[in-house]
Amino acid sequence: MSPPKEQRRLALFLATSGHSGVDRIMKNFLGELAKRPIAVDLLQVEGHGPHIHSVPDNVRRIALGTHHVHSSLFRLAHYLKTVRPDALLCDKDRVNRTAILAAAVAGYTGRLVVRVGTTVSRNLQGRGFLHRTMQYWSIRHLYPRAHAVVVPSRGAAEDLSALGSLPHGFIHVLPSPVVSEKIHDLAREPLKHPWFQPGGPPVILGAGELCERKDFATLLRAFAKVHKDRPCRLVILGRGKKRVALEKLAHELGVAAHVDFPGFVENPYTYMAKASVFVLSSTVEGLPVVLMEAMAVGTPVVATDCPSGPREILEDGALGPLVPVKSPDELAAAITRVLTSPLNRKALMAAASRYDVRKATGAYLKVLGFSDVAALPKGKAAP
């Protein structure tokens, strides 16, 4: 009898914040990968993660033993040379850059796929000269050494193609693995926050890192305008460097008593499901996970028409208003319209099903060279 054939191996090299949409995407992705007959290694750097606290038992965590992505180059090269995974998937530019260089050092011949989750040209606006130069150089000179680049939206693909003059067919637009039955289970959990109890004023919800590009300042200004005309409240989930400035702005606008910043919450879905409207106020995105999640639980949405993703997700405004970035007046008007005449929840949930975790994972596996296991095996239903 011949010995059993060793499973093919997929390695993931990621850097995450611990509280972003990328964390949730990759956690979903790992859960789906674990159901397929492939071995999975999750490569970790102490300072940059990924900060995924629970992974399936059959996913192997490998600590590269460094504090930063850039200093992990030779440790990663050693892993690639000794383990020889069949494919390596990376995410974010500093990780992609390190992985491509490590693959060259190791003489790695497996399939190397890099992911870019945002609209690069807009995301680099306001960054320092060195940061911009390094990323542009990576895209133009290193990315072509990979086998493929994955992006979450058509807008991000067009932007990346223009920046890097990358070969035709090299960039793949793949849906992010966002929507699962687990989201719906979590959405049904009770919420103790006093503002979400039956009979209270409508609650407007925002969520994300409290940073410049999420532009919660515009959401606060829009909320102040809506609040002048009707009783309502605003809750913004997340943590970040802008919290103090946002709290100060809420006081200046005279709405501090009607705005709450709960910080990071383990279960944002129960907030989403019980909110009257979810608002995305960003100036730049790739494909905003929170927007898809809010739609998945049936919550009406309003979004800025930022590059890129909201226009694609909301089907050019058919599934929710799109307003110009940094436009408090127009954002306030859109919020008021949705509070008055919300879109049908079932239509929103049906539209969000495009980002089903099983379908999206299958699409990723095809690009990674695992087409034969892209379909979920029988008897391996999603949790």
What confidence score (pLDDT) does residue 18 get? 58
**Contact, 79 vs 61, CB < 8 A?**
no
Biggest CA-to-CA distance, the chain: 78
Query: In sequence order, which residues have a C-beta less than 8 Å from that of residue 372 and are 6 or more positions away?
Result: none
Cis peptide before 308 (omega within 30 of 0): yes
The backbone torsions φ and ψ at residue 70, rounded to the nearest 5 degrees and listed phi first, read -60, -35
Q: How far apart are CA 146 and CA 99, in angstroms?
A: 9
Nearest to 325 by CA among 290, 284, 295: 284
364, amino acid identity: Y
What confidence score (pLDDT) does residue 1 get? 36
239, amino acid identity: R
Mean pLDDT by 10 residues, the chain (383 residues): 68 76 85 94 75 80 90 96 98 93 98 91 81 88 95 90 83 94 95 94 98 97 98 97 98 99 96 98 92 97 95 96 98 98 93 94 97 72 43
Q: How far apart are CA 130 and CA 162, in angstroms?
A: 20
Q: How far apart are CA 68 and CA 72, in angstroms?
A: 7
Q: Show the domains of the chain with their CATH numbers.
A: 9-177+356-373 (3.40.50.2000), 181-354 (3.40.50.2000)
**Contact, 41 vs 13, CB < 8 A?**
no
Q: Counting beta carbons within 10 angstroms of the beta carbon of residue 243, is it exposed (0 to 12), middle (13 to 18) or buried (19 or more)? A: middle
Nearest to 91 by CA among 279, 324, 368: 368
What confidence score (pLDDT) does residue 2 get? 41
What confidence score (pLDDT) does residue 281 get? 99
Nearest to 206 by CA among 70, 302, 344: 302
The residue assigned the tokens 């609040």 is 227
**Helix, strand, or coil (residue 2):** coil
What confidence score (pLDDT) does residue 382 get? 42
What confidence score (pLDDT) does residue 308 get? 86
Q: Which tokens hold the place of 128?
A: 């320092």
Q: What is the distance in angstroms between the CA of the first residue and the CA of the last residue of the chain? A: 36
What confidence score (pLDDT) does residue 323 get? 99
Q: Counting beta carbons within 10 angstroms of the beta carbon of residue 377, is it exposed (0 to 12), middle (13 to 18) or buried (19 or more)? A: exposed
Q: How far apart are CA 333 and CA 226, in angstroms?
A: 8
